[in-house]
Amino acid sequence: MTRCAQPGEFVVTVPTSPRVPQPALKLVGVTKRYGKGPAAVAALDPIDLTVAEGEFVCLVGSSGCGKSTLLSIIAGLDAPSTGSIDSFGRRVALMFQEPALFPWLTAAANVELALKARAVPRGVRRERVARLLATVGLSEFADKRPHQLSGGMRQRVALARALAQDADVLLMDEPFGALDALTRDLLHEELERIVESRGLTVVFVTHNVREAVRLADRVILLGARPGRVAEEFYVPVSRPRQINTADVAELAAHVTARLHEEGNGHRGQ
Amino acid sequence: MLASVWAKVLAVLVVLGAWQLVYLSGWKSSVVFPGPAEVGATLWRQLHDAVLWEAVSTTMGRAIIGFGLSLLIGTLLGGVLSRNKLLRSTFGSLIAGLQTMPAIAWFPFAIIFFGLNTSAILFVIVIGAAPSVALGVIAGTDHIPPLQLRAAKTMGLRRFALYRHVILPASLPTFVSGLRQGWAFAWRSLMAGELVVMVAGTASIGVLLENAQNMSDMPLAISVMIVVLLIGIVVDSVFGAADRQIRRYWGLVDGDLA
């Protein structure tokens, strides 16, 4: 309760503004068109999206809704037809559905290459690679080549490699899509832990609604052909989460229903 | 592994046995078709004759220089073409076409241009083998999985670093196949060359074969052919071992465990 100062009292005011999360990514009016003229195919209709620092955003949509295209554009591998992407000078790392490891290098060497690419000196590299492999739980497999590792292990190496890029923003394109459910659950836990401890901003693309709700702070539903933001859902479930709890399941069911409506509604057009 | 060695020994014994049977049947006179025993004796004599070894070293010297030149030229050519789409679309099919032409057809050109000397032989070797090497380089860069290239680019690898760390190692298996094929063409061209181009004053395998022909010495001819065959097999098996080793390293060999 505020009151007026009494005679003889000092008034000290401490400015306490609420901490506003800074945007890590800002997309404004991003579109993507293939071809020219009347025969042009619009893959993405104007997309406006702002991702806050430290936020975990999942993009969900059926196949062909342009979510992978959008991710490529954010990563800078593809140029938008119109619109702008601002990553505010942040480094962006990208992870794909396939690990895309280099088969002639060991797990450690694969991770080290990301450091070599940024001219990190040799002594520092060795120690960082060891730490990164420990983070993803693969310390004993440092000398194994990709073909000697299981699918889940390869994706963990790919994750370590992405983290080695020292990016603040992690873009993930259905990275666990090719894995079995058990491995996926384990990787969800690890990802959640790593993202929280490093304060990473994540944009995660998936067609698996359950996975999206389990992982994200915010789930963005993309409509298809052309891709556009159809709806947004905040996920108020506290962390660490489990994939099979009632609140996750409920929200996932709701999002799935909206996803189907979105798909049906579009077909009706 | 021991089983495959015994299998090979068995195969050789079968061939020798069949040879002996045909010889014994008297189908052709023993002058024209000597038995394995006589050829074996001649071969043994040859192996103790300095002339054979001098001939082998001359021929192998040409092979190494010719193949070395093919390797250099082919790799440079392939490297330039794989980077430049325009050059590739214009010269790529020309090189593929060049590969189909039997090297022996180049000899009149080579002899008129270089004269009857070693340069003519080396020219034909290079023209036969370099296209294979170049195509191996191009195919190597073509067959890099695009996702691996994307991953490399997202890591920030560009230009020279991209080549050194990703493109070159990724092309290695296909490149080695190109080398192996190039060697096969080089060896054939060389053998043809040594029979067609009579370089004065040198002993080579071609000269030995030519002598055998002139003297109607069948045991000698077959002995030298056996030497040629053995050399070819040894070198090809070196390439084969390199290819297998690379593929095992990469995990492309099926059923490989740690």
Inter-chain touch A104–B249, beta carbons under 8 Å: yes
Residue A106 falls inside a structural domain: no
> Does the ipTM exceed 0.85?
no
Q: What single string gives the DSSP state of each residue in A87-139? A: -TT--EEEE-SS----TTS-HHHHHHHHHHHTT--HHHHHHHHHHHHHHTT-G
In a domain, A250, yes or no: yes
Predicted local distance difference test score (pLDDT) of residue A57:
93
> Could you tell me if residue A132 is inside a domain?
no
Select the residue of A96, A98, A145 nearest B251 (Cβ to Cβ): A145
Question: What's the pTM?
Answer: 0.77
Chain A residues with CB-CB distance to B156 below 8 A:
117-118, 165
- Please give the pLDDT value at position B1: 62
- A240 burial (CB, 10 Å; 0-12 / 13-18 / 19+) is exposed
How many of the other CB atoms lie within 10 Å of CB of B91? 16
- Residue predicted with more confidence, B28 or A6: B28
Task: For residue A229, list its beta bridge partners.
Answer: A222
Is 50 exceeded by the pLDDT of residue A159?
A: yes
CB contacts under 8 A, B 174-213 vs A, are: none
Radius of gyration of chain A measured on its C-alpha atoms: 22
Residue A248 domain-assigned (yes or no):
yes
Burial class (CB in 10 A: 0-12, 13-18, 19+), A143: exposed
Q: Which residue has the tokens 């002899």?
A: B111
How far apart CA B12 and CA A98 sit, in angstroms, is 48
Mutation for testing the A interface, residue in B143, B148, B150, B154 having most A CBs under 10 Å: B154
Decide if pLDDT at A232 tops 80: yes
Q: In the predicted model, is pLDDT for residue A119 greater than 60?
A: yes
> Total structural domains in chain A?
1
Q: Is the peptide bond before A226 cis (omega within 30 degrees of 0)?
A: yes
What CATH number is associated with residue A238? 3.40.50.300
pLDDT at A266 over 60: no
A195 part of a folded domain: no
* Domain span including residue A53: 25-90+208-269
B97/B82 Cα distance (integer angstroms) = 17
Given the structure tokens 């992978």, which residue do they identify?
A: A68
% residues pLDDT > 70 (chain A): 91
Average pLDDT of the segment spanning A83-106: 88
State the smallest CA–CA distance between residue B243 and chain A in angstroms: 14
Size of interface A-B (CB pairs under 8 A): 58
Per residue in B213-236, pLDDT (tens digit) is 999 999 999 999 999 999 999 999
Write out chain B residues lying below 8 Å of A161, CB-based.
151, 155
Let me know if residue A50 belongs to a domain. Answer: yes
- Per CB-CB distance under 8 Å, the chain A contacts of B169 are 102, 104
In which band, very low, low, confident or very high, does the pLDDT at A160 lie, cut at 50, 70 and 90? Answer: very high
- pLDDT at residue A18, rounded to an integer: 58
Specify if A52 maps to a domain.
yes
Within a domain: A221: yes
pLDDT less than 70: residues of chain B: 1, 253-258
- Judge whether A149 and B252 are in contact, CB under 8 Å: no
The domains of chain B, with CATH numbers, are 35-250 (1.10.3720.10)
- Per-residue pLDDT at A224 exceeds 80: no
Residues 138-157 on A with a CB inside 8 Å of B are 144-148
Contacts of A90 (CB under 8 A, 6+ apart): A24, A25, A167, A168, A169, A201
